[in-house]
Amino acid sequence: MGSHADDRGGNGRDYVLQLFVTGHTEKSVRAVRNVTRLCEQHLHGHYDLKVVDLYQQPELAAEHQLVAAPTLIKTFPLPPRKLIGDMSDSRRVLAGLGIVG
How confident is the prediction along the chain (101 residues), in pLDDT tens digits per residue? 333 333 334 445 699 999 999 999 999 999 999 999 999 999 999 999 999 999 999 999 999 999 999 999 999 999 999 999 999 999 999 999 888 75
Q: What is the pLDDT of residue 99?
A: 83
Domains of the chain from N-terminus onward:
15-97 (3.40.30.10)
pLDDT number for residue 9: 41
For helices 26-43 and 90-97, what crossing angle results, to 10°? 60
User: Taking a C-beta distance cutoff of 8 angstroms, is the pair 101, 41 a contact?
Assistant: no
pLDDT, residue 6, reads 36
User: What's the burial of 77, exposed, middle or buried (CB within 10 Å: 0-12/13-18/19+)?
Assistant: middle
Per-residue model confidence (pLDDT) at position 53:
97
**What does the pLDDT read at residue 3?**
34
Contact 20, 66 (CB under 8 A): yes
Query: What is the reported pLDDT for 11?
Result: 44
